[in-house]
Structure 1
Amino acid sequence: MAKPSNRSPSPRLLAAALMAVLVFLSADRAQVVEAVTCSATELSPCLPAITSSAAPSALCCSKLREQRPCLCGYIKDPNLKQYFTSPNAKRVASTCGVASPTC
């Protein structure tokens, strides 16, 4: 029988999740026009900005806006919460014009 893994999620996954949370925080839920597939890995273009002081790329900001409806789910996930509520993730979201969601 295999033992459960005690490894933490990768920094890249965590950063992506954090970005998704930030996008959702600023989302106006009434403006969701089409269904979004929630996947924290969609926010991987934001990883460099979350893990450093680099500015987020246009692709990062686009993905954050796209994942807005998913951010509360990411925040409520104990494995992702710390990444989406970090100061750097909030900075990236703010730079992209994405407000923090009220979950």
Structure 2
Amino acid sequence: MALSHPKPYVVTFRYQEQSLADLAKLTNQLTLAGFTTSLTSEDGVLHELGTNSYGISGLHSREDVTELATRLGETALGQTPEVSLASLEEYLQQINETKMPPKA
């Protein structure tokens, strides 16, 4: 299904770490494929993504992004990672919902 404009997605990986180099390998593999560690929202605000989370914008379907991220994760880690996908809007909403309320 083709989209009419680029949509920013965030993929988050969960996997069993085998070594301290796993995160570096994963980050390298994903950035070579066009993923980033930050995304800009529609209102122009730059959002740094959390550890094991990577962003990509483009005319991709959710299924294509998930499949690509899973394959890149397998290549980098030597195992099949659990990959969750959210739009940038969904990702930011999840973060806001999990924030601790301020102390009184």
Q: Same fold (TM over 0.5)?
A: no
TM-score when scaled to structure 2? 0.29
Higher CA-based Rg: 2
Which structure has more helix as a fraction of its residues? 1
Which structure has more strand as a fraction of its residues? 2
